[in-house]
A and B are shown apart, each in its own frame.
Chain A
Amino acid sequence: MGPEFGRLAYVRHIITYTLSPFEQRPFAKYFSVGLPNLWRRFRGQVFRVAPLFLAGYAVYSWAIEEEQRLKRKNPADYVNDE
């Protein structure tokens, strides 16, 4: 079902070198390179995602306050009632 290993692609003149996993440290530079890379990836996306959600939150909190305001009477309207 579908292409199997050996029938995926015909590639010529590509030589790959790999290190045995037993010769590597699996978590090498996990923090020293990983954390700056995480920050780089965050910065690349945050200005496409965050502004919309901040605007959405502003609309959400306005709507809730507006709904609360519409459910209440204005005390100033009844200030001179006897």
Chain B
Amino acid sequence: HPLIKLINQTLIDLPTPSNISACWNFGSLLGLTLLIQILTGVFLMMHFSSGDTMAFSSVAYTSREVWFGWLIRGLHMNGASLFFMFIFLHIGRGLYYASYLHESTWNVGVIMLLLLMATAFMGYVLPWGQMSFWGATVITNLLSATPYVGSTVVPWIWGGPSVDNATLMRFTALHFILPFALLASLVTHLIFLHERGSFNPLGVNSNTDKIPFHPYYTLKDTLGAALAASALLTLALYLPTLLSDPENFTQANSMITPTHIKPEWYFLFAYAILRSTPNKLGGVLAMFSSILILLLMPFLHTTKQQPMSTRPMSQLLFWALVLDFFVLTWIGGQPVNSTYILMGQTASVLYFAIILILMPTIGLLENKMTSFIYTISPR
């Protein structure tokens, strides 16, 4: 039977390396989180009204009056944070173990990251709080920096002269439909991955030592899912507003600008890079480049060894990049003061320097230092 054969080839008899670590759990966790977001999102949509006069109060109604509406909303809000945490860890795994050498899988993954970011950005606008409105205003205004067409494109996106009811309604529609585009990309991502099989932490060809996905990795992924569910429930039940901005408890008001406009935590690193560049168009380009640079990773891989498991100098640079990411995230949430301006600019330059210059250079150095030739095994 073709459907059973498909499920069997993907989840049961799939040959999987015997040594993939916990870092390989994030793929399945991302799929699970997407499912949670779609389910909770559909239930939230049943009670949401997308007009600007009704949106805020419909979300409050859902949280207060709908049976377990507070829980569904808590799961959806914190599920988004968990989604980004997992995707950052998943990308980190990809950088450390050079998974980007599966180019087609990697490129589809970058498209999925962009879709996720678009979905999350638009989803945050829907409750129509102060930060929803002003965050949307700031970020959509950035597109006006585009030469020639910028001033035309922005009102076209808004559906009017400013972020208003038309913007909210189209963001509602797009926020609903994009996760299904994400789902389609997920299927493509898995098709490309399963053509070659998963990689492994040692960096060797694992075709001689593969085990079936079921029961080993169904069980391991179930454990990962249980831990992730615990994290999500802890957030949703005990600390539902830990990661959110208190400004969003106030309804959107175009006449009152919040003192500190900032996006949710998962966009802060890009926000810091944006604010660190004095030029408006330069800032926009730097911000988009910080994500799109991932597409360049296969071409920046200069070393003959695939993973960083046996490359200590590259490991140091990797952790420096992780630290830099944390610094950028922190700076993105801070007000623009002299101390933080300098740190943000330094961290932004370091981010690109590590990826574009330092890592490839260290890779070449490591080639010279190793005494054996290690070639990447064809599958």
- Chain A residues within 8 Å of B, Cβ to Cβ: 1-5, 8-9, 11, 14, 45, 48-49, 52-53, 56, 59-60, 63, 66-67, 70
Asked if residues A53 and B323 are in contact (CB atoms below 8 Å), the reply is yes
Provide a sorted-by-A list of 9 A–B residue pairs whose CB atoms are within 8 angstroms: A5-B210, A8-B15, A11-B208, A48-B319, A53-B323, A63-B340, A63-B343, A66-B339, A70-B337
Stretch at the interface among B159-167, B192-200, B276-284: B192-200
Asked if residues B316 and A56 are in contact (CB atoms below 8 Å), the reply is no
Asked if residues B330 and A8 are in contact (CB atoms below 8 Å), the reply is no
Known: A63-B340, A66-B339. A5 touches B208 (CB 8 A): no
Residue of B with least CB distance to A69: B339
Partner of B197, one of A2, A48, A53, A59: A2
Tier of interface size on chain B? 20 to 34
Minimum Cβ distance to chain A for residue B367 (Å): 20
Partner of B15, one of A5, A11, A53, A63: A5
Other A-B contacts than A1-B195, A2-B9, 7 sampled, CB-CB below 8 A, are: A1-B194, A3-B379, A9-B207, A11-B208, A52-B316, A56-B327, A67-B340
Shortest 3 CB-CB distances between A and B: which pairs?
A9-B207, A8-B207, A56-B323
Asked if residues B194 and A48 are in contact (CB atoms below 8 Å), the reply is no
Residue of A with least CB distance to B342: A63
Known: A1-B195, A48-B315, A49-B319. A9 touches B208 (CB 8 A): yes
- Chain B residues within 8 Å of A, Cβ to Cβ: 9-10, 13, 15, 191, 194-197, 205, 207-208, 210, 212, 312, 315-316, 319-320, 323, 326-327, 330, 337-340, 343, 379
Minimum Cβ distance to chain B for residue A42 (Å): 14
Which residues of chain A have C-beta atoms less than 8 A from B195's C-beta? 1-2
Asked if residues A56 and B208 are in contact (CB atoms below 8 Å), the reply is no
Asked if residues B9 and A1 are in contact (CB atoms below 8 Å), the reply is yes
Give the CA-CA distance A5 to B207 in the complex, in Å.
9
Partner of B13, one of A4, A45, A67: A4
Give the CA-CA distance A30 to B167 in the complex, in Å.
57
Asked if residues B343 and A52 are in contact (CB atoms below 8 Å), the reply is no
Known: A59-B343, A70-B337, A70-B338. A2 touches B194 (CB 8 A): yes
Asked if residues A8 and B210 are in contact (CB atoms below 8 Å), the reply is yes
Asked if residues A48 and B312 are in contact (CB atoms below 8 Å), the reply is yes
Which residues of chain B have C-beta atoms less than 8 A from A1's C-beta? 9-10, 191, 194-195
Which residues of chain B have C-beta atoms less than 8 A from A49's C-beta? 319
Asked if residues B323 and A52 are in contact (CB atoms below 8 Å), the reply is yes
Asked if residues A56 and B326 are in contact (CB atoms below 8 Å), the reply is yes
Which residues of chain B have C-beta atoms less than 8 A from A67's C-beta? 337, 339-340
Which residues of chain B have C-beta atoms less than 8 A from A5's C-beta? 13, 15, 210, 212
Give the CA-CA distance A11 to B208 in the complex, in Å.
7
Known: A48-B315, A52-B316, A53-B323. A4 touches B343 (CB 8 A): no
Minimum Cβ distance to chain A for residue B338 (Å): 7
Asked if residues A4 and B319 are in contact (CB atoms below 8 Å), the reply is no
Asked if residues A3 and B207 are in contact (CB atoms below 8 Å), the reply is yes
Residue of B with least CB distance to A8: B207
